[in-house]
Amino acid sequence: MIHTMLKKFAIGACAVAVSMFAYGNSVFATDLTVYTAVEAEDLKKYAAKFNESYPDINIKWVRDSTGVVTAKLLAEKNNPQADVVWGLAATSLMLLKAEGMTEGYAPAGVDKLDKKFVDSANPPHWTGMDAWIASVCVNTVEAEAKGLPMPTSWKDLTKPVYAGHVVMPNPNSSGTGFLDVSSWLQMFGEGGGWDFMDGLHKNIAWYTHSGSKPCKQAASGETPIGISFAFRGAKSKAKGAPLEIIIPSEGVGWDMEATAIMKGTKKLAAAKKLVDFTITKEANMMYNKGYAVVAYPGVAKPVKHFPAGILDAMIDNKFEWAAVNRDRILKEWQTRYDSKSEPKK
């Protein structure tokens, strides 16, 4: 009898202890609201890798394309909802910094990063993760069926033969779209850049609200040609899509995914832990699974199907100029070309 009672007590005590442990974890865990434009399929593994080191911090993702996330952050300027931004274009974070919306913080080990991936302020307001690079995805099966020659340059895409066969991202929604437009204005000059886009617009079937979507649509055969970024092309090609990833001869634009703490966060200690993690060698090894260029020197290994020679084709991108002129460029683009944008969902 006594033995049975003791056994029941022990089982009950154990159950209480387990429930208290679980309760304690839920009570004492910190929820961090993190805004991001990272590819949706990567978010789970990013959070899981972070939680291996910090199991007491829960990431609550708010994910959309770069332009949408940037607009949301700006709209929330006087009532910020995000604690951290992890994975947004550096040009967007430069804009937020100029608006006084980011918190200066030098994460542990920041001196180990390539300097071009770190804000020049002291302390820095953002730190880079990786670079994503413009490219053209061509579905070889669809191109052959439609009698389309393989383009080798940006200006090739303005030729009449490509009319109705090209898709690209809307720069107001997509960071990839903006890096395309801002790089063309740098490559061809302001006048020449808009002239080029006038010609390209004649051949555009539609503008998407996602930077990866044009390449996904090329991969599935919805369009023969999608202006996108090399990582997405390599990823689709690895899954068997009949894609050729073209590096236009004039050069390619690029931007950095970067991280920042939002000013006014009430969870600054947890936010700093997250930012500390984002620049580690371990985190950069994770980024390198999809991006050939990462912030931590010596980490990057070749990415399967990533086009050879693309690093040499990266233009000397004037990020500060792009950030300062972003609003003007987007308004001009909207006026000229938005009529072909697909409906927003």
In whole angstroms, give the CA distance from residue 85 to residue 258.
8
Q: What is the pLDDT of residues 9-34, one digit of tens each?
A: 344 433 333 333 333 344 468 999 99
Task: Kindly report the pTM of this predicted structure.
Answer: 0.84
In whole angstroms, give the CA distance from residue 98 to residue 117.
18
Residue 5 has pLDDT above 50, yes or no: no
> Which whole-number Å values give the CA distances from 31 to 26, 336, 337, in the listed order?
10, 43, 41
Please name the residue that has the structure tokens 């010609």.
Answer: 199
In whole angstroms, give the CA distance from residue 52 to residue 135.
35
Give the pLDDT of residue 11. 40
User: Domains of the chain, with CATH numbers?
Assistant: 30-131+255-294 (3.40.190.10), 133-253+306-340 (3.40.190.10)
Please state the length of the chain: 345
> Which whole-number Å values give the CA distances from 253 to 22, 31, 51, 189, 313, in the listed order?
48, 36, 34, 14, 9
> Which whole-number Å values give the CA distances from 232 to 65, 149, 256, in the listed order?
14, 22, 15
Amino acid identity, position 131:
A
> Which whole-number Å values give the CA distances from 112 to 117, 118, 156, 297, in the listed order?
10, 10, 41, 8
What 8-state DSSP symbol labels residue 128? Answer: E
Please name the residue that has the structure tokens 């090209």.
Answer: 166
DSSP β-bridge partners for residue 61: 34
In whole angstroms, give the CA distance from residue 264 to residue 279.
22
Residue % of the chain over a pLDDT of 90:
86
Q: What is the pLDDT of residues 158-216, one digit of tens each?
A: 999 999 999 999 999 999 999 999 999 999 999 999 999 999 999 999 999 999 999 99
Give the pLDDT of residue 274. 98
